[in-house]
Amino acid sequence: MYFKDIHPYVGLRCNEVDKGASPTYFCDMHAAWDSLPEDLKQNVRDEGEVDFTLANFFKRARYPYDVQKPAELRYLRMTRKCKNTICKEDGKGEYAYFSPAYTSSKYYNELNQLLFEDKFVYAHEWKDNDLVVWNNKTISHMRKGTPRHIVRNLVRYAFHEPKQSEDYLTHLPIKYNRDVILNEIKELTFKPFEVKRAPKGNFFRYAKSWLRSEITTIRDDGEIGNVVTQVKSLLDLKDDDFTLNVFNQKANTSVPEHKDISPCAMIIILSNNAAPITFVGHGDMNYKCALLNTQAPHTIKSYIEDRITLKFSIKKDYKSCLESLKLK
């Protein structure tokens, strides 16, 4: 919390734990904030930004922080600090962004006493192989001391929120039943994707792990037909403006960097779980059903399941499709 931006989601994985190790305590900071007296809430809102510092932690911690060199300690004091508000808001309403270790506030004592009541706290007793993931902004967590001879071996994971950018991808509000589509494509015959003019040895010359089946007949009363009608209307497409394929990127294989042959694509991910698309210079983007700027160089990472997609390869460019979409 001594940085302005913290990871939105964090996880702990328990490798091994012995009896007597401290649980991890999770406090719901939405519920805790809601329970505060109205005048205290208003005072905290009025206080605005306050200091969150590692120096506070050094002063307050009951266990010494393991920094040996005075120069390192000075460096940490200087760099590990930021200003932030204690009252924050997300889609569920206001919550308290407060740490007994790092936060300075005129109302520190009241907040520290009222926010961490037992009724807002869940204590997780660890078992080997547990994985707990939580919203790091709205759930505060702590542990108590564990004697040195007791094993408490946890690994912490911090998750970034993928950056959203309309330059690369736009989610589409298409309605469809994924299971019905999967059923409709069951009988298709797949062949490796091929670009005959690609250089010898190039992945796309004959992509054995990236299979394709073109859908040439579309039944109006089927689920794919239903998707086609919606896509045509949303993006102002005629039958000649696109081709429709199902792709299967086999499990544990990747697709190397490329730009598509067609300028734009609309893709529905049909697999339960799948790798994101990774745009070069931007990063991973997850989606279920989206319009994609396939002229931006991209790759698809490997994943443990087949990545099955229904893909409209569109002859119009991404910008014109986006304009049609925005006029709706």
Give contact residues for Fe ion (rule: CB under 5 A). 260
Q: Which is nearer to Fe ion, 115 or 269 (CB)?
A: 269
Q: Is the CB of residue 10 less than 8 Å from the CB of residue 133? A: yes
Which residue of this chain has its Cβ atom nearest to Fe ion in the complex? 260
Angle in degrees, 0-180, between the axes of helices 318-326 and 223-235, rounded to the nearest 10: 90
Minimal distance, residue 199 CB to Fe ion, in Å:
18
β-bridge mates for residue 157, sequence order? 11
Spatial distance between the Cα atoms of 262 and 225, rounded to a whole number of angstroms: 21
Q: Which is nearer to Fe ion, 93 or 256 (CB)?
A: 256
* Helix spans in 165-303 (H): 178-184, 223-235
Q: Which is nearer to Fe ion, 136 or 254 (CB)?
A: 254
Minimal distance, residue 298 CB to Fe ion, in Å:
6
Minimal distance, residue 239 CB to Fe ion, in Å:
23
Q: Which is nearer to Fe ion, 33 or 210 (CB)?
A: 210
- Quote the tokens at residue 269: 């991910």
CA 279 from centre of chain: 15
Spatial distance between the Cα atoms of 215 and 245, rounded to a whole number of angstroms: 5
Minimal distance, residue 299 CB to Fe ion, in Å:
9
Spatial distance between the Cα atoms of 142 and 123, rounded to a whole number of angstroms: 9
Q: Which is nearer to Fe ion, 13 or 212 (CB)?
A: 212
25: enclosing H helix or E strand = strand 24-28
Minimal distance, residue 277 CB to Fe ion, in Å:
8
